[in-house]
Chains A and B, each alone.
Chain A
Amino acid sequence: DTEVTQTPKHLVMGMTNKKSLKCEQHMGHRAMYWYKQKAKKPPELMFVYSYEKLSINESVPSRFSPECPNSSLLNLHLHALQPEDSALYLCASSQEWNPNNEQFFGPGTRLTVL
């Protein structure tokens, strides 16, 4: 299995809703990442987990809350989002949190906040 999977594919939510994005990989990778990508812009790093521990938080607002329940799963919990948070949310993984490892991306969740 050489894929990173993400669910749901599309999500529409109101500003008062609570929802979660899920990411899964079974490649034995120990580093997992969340990126946010707005239309026609490159991906922006949000969080890095290494060995299930949060290693980097790129000054992301607290309405985004990551969770890594085990080495194969990465969640992003969403609460009280704003319309400007509408974007493609990409999950990626790499073998280690190491400069020489390529990152494999999931297909993304397209989020719309009304």
Chain B
Amino acid sequence: GQNIDQPTEMTATEGAIVQINCTYQTSGFNGLFWYQQHAGEAPTFLSYNVLDGLEEKGRFSSFLSRSKGYSYLLLKELQMKDSASYLCAVRPYSGSQGNLIFGKGTKLSVKP
């Protein structure tokens, strides 16, 4: 089976740094995606990792360790507009080539 775990909710303060973790057990692995989704809106692509290590894109960074089945999304200099759900999604091999299995999402609330 496929299983992707991430915390349900997190709270952080404006200007701070927050790390959202994601662990996965899937039948195969061919990339991990992070998406941001504001309430009532479609997901927006944030990052993609297929090799181990850190990918940095402005205030957002994503890390992957394939041996540990683990990723995190790091958000720096938090802004109020970063309040959203963050979805971790994995592309496994078998039976779903090219498709994504989503985690349940982490709802991040940024407080002043």
Contacts and interface: CB of A to CB of B under 8 A. Distances in A.
Contacts of A102: 33, 45, 48
Interface stretch (B10-18, B65-73, B102-110): B102-110
Nearest to A91: B42
Interface in A67-101: 88, 90, 94, 96-101
Interface extent on A, as a size class? Answer: 20 to 34
A42 B104 contact: yes
A100 B31 contact: yes
A56 B102 CA distance: 17
A45 B98 contact: no
Nearest to A41: B104
Contacts of B42: 88, 90, 105-108
Nearest to A33: B99
B31 A103 contact: no
B84 interface: no
B44 interface: yes
B105 A48 contact: no
A94 B33 CA distance: 13
Interface of B: 30-31, 33, 35, 40-45, 48, 50, 87, 89, 91, 93, 96-100, 102-105
Interface of A: 31, 33, 41-45, 48, 50, 56, 88, 90, 94, 96-108, 110
